[in-house]
Amino acid sequence: MIAMIERLIGSGHAYAAEGHVLFSVASFPAYGQLSRRDPEEMLAGARVEVAPYKRDAGDFVLWKPSTPDLPGWDSPQGRGRPGWHIECSAMAGAHLGETIDIHAGGIDLQFPHHENEIAQSQCAHGGKVFARFWLHNGMLNFGGAKMSKSVGNIERVHDLVRKHPPEALRYALLSAQYRQPLDWSDALIEQSVRTWTGCTARCATSPASKPYLPSRGRWRMPWRTTSTLRWPCPRWPASPARHARPPAQATVPG
Ligand SMILES: [Zn+2]
């Protein structure tokens, strides 16, 4: 992370001020492209008070100073710790290379986190594309709010599978397109359990579906390759496989 920050300072994409190192958003014209935001509008819409050490309101922290009671590491700027985004850029660069094929994540990370990752990585790697494809999934909502560990409105998979057939839970998760939000509710689970049990009941009476029947309490899933997902039931009413298929076209950027 420190080496990457030093490279960004050296190439004029970052600057040190009052123990901080900031990325200069103005130095990267493509900033805002992923989330389709206009940098000018972003600045105009900045309501928070701008820290005095920032040249531009949109500049974001790469490194910040640490007090003795906070975790910290020695750096050319003194003892400090990394900002939120630089870790991802440094890890991706070290383990996956300068350009990665697919970067996925929740839509809530598109801005600012992924936008900042692109800015840091691309500028530290001489303008090389950071990720060829971005896949942002919609949020799983629960009780009208985003399901989140920090909010505490979560359901754990190992609790759910004790109460419902795992296949029905999978079906429930596949019922929304990946970029759309999915409202997780008792009604969704009940509906999915009904659909799944209805299908398996129909399969049970069909001689053609023998290989798909449960053996010793476990379903045999004839998934083939990742590109051709075959739904296990040949008599499924309305092929849900179209939901399960990986997206034919990734969004660039999006
Ligand atoms: Zn990240």
Residues 168-201: pLDDT tens digits?
A: 999 999 999 999 999 999 999 999 999 988 888 8
> Which residues pair with residue 65 across a beta bridge?
80
User: Which of 16-25, 182-191, 219-228, 232-241 has the least mean pLDDT?
Assistant: 219-228
- Give the Å distance between the CA of 119 and the centre of ligand 1: 13
- Give the Å distance between the CA of 147 and the centre of ligand 1: 19
| 238 pLDDT higher than 80 | no
Distance CA 249, CA 135 (A): 10
Label residue 151 by pLDDT band (50, 70, 90): confident
Q: Considering the entire predicted model, what is its pTM? A: 0.72
Q: Where in the chain is the domain with CATH 3.40.50.620?
A: 2-137
- Give the Å distance between the CA of 109 and the centre of ligand 1: 8
User: Which of 46-50, 106-110, 180-184 has the least mean pLDDT?
Assistant: 46-50
- Give the Å distance between the CA of 21 and the centre of ligand 1: 19
- Give the Å distance between the CA of 155 and the centre of ligand 1: 24
Residue whose tokens read 């609790």: 159
Q: CATH 3.40.50.620: does it fit domain 2-137?
A: yes
3-state SS of the chain is CHHHHHHHHHCCCEEEECCEEEECHHHCCCCCCCCCCCHHHHHHCCCCCCCCCCCCCCCEEEEEECCCCCCCECCCCCCEEECCCHHHHHHHHHHCCCCEEEEEEEHHHHHHHHHHHHHHHHHHCCCCCCEEEEEEECCEEECCEECCCCCCCCCCHHHHHHHCCHHHHHHHHCCCCCCCCEEECHHHHHHHHHHHHHHHHHHHCCHHHHHHCCECCECCCCCCCCCCCCCCCCCCCCCCHHHHCCCCCCECCC
Average pLDDT in the chain: 83
Residue pair 64/83 in contact by the 8 Å Cβ criterion: yes
> What average pLDDT score do residues 83-99 get?
96
- Give the Å distance between the CA of 114 and the centre of ligand 1: 7
Label residue 225 by pLDDT band (50, 70, 90): very low
Distance CA 249, CA 93 (A): 25
- Give the Å distance between the CA of 120 and the centre of ligand 1: 12
Better-predicted residue by pLDDT, 59 or 235:
59
The pLDDT value given to residue 38: 83
Nearest to 220 by CA among 235, 205, 230: 230
Nearest to 93 by CA among 126, 60, 134, 136: 126
The pLDDT value given to residue 229: 40
- Give the Å distance between the CA of 246 and the centre of ligand 1: 22
Distance CA 223, CA 253 (A): 30
> Which residues pair with residue 21 across a beta bridge?
16, 63
Whether omega before 112 lies within 30 degrees of 0, making that bond cis, reads yes
The pLDDT value given to residue 149: 81
> What average pLDDT score do residues 209-221 get?
49
> What average pLDDT score do residues 54-67 get?
94
- Give the Å distance between the CA of 146 and the centre of ligand 1: 19
Residues 122-133: pLDDT tens digits?
A: 999 999 999 999
| 232 pLDDT higher than 80 | no
Residue type, 86: I
The pLDDT value given to residue 254: 40
Distance CA 86, CA 5 (A): 8
Residue pair 153/141 in contact by the 8 Å Cβ criterion: no
- Give the Å distance between the CA of 24 and the centre of ligand 1: 19
Distance CA 24, CA 131 (A): 21
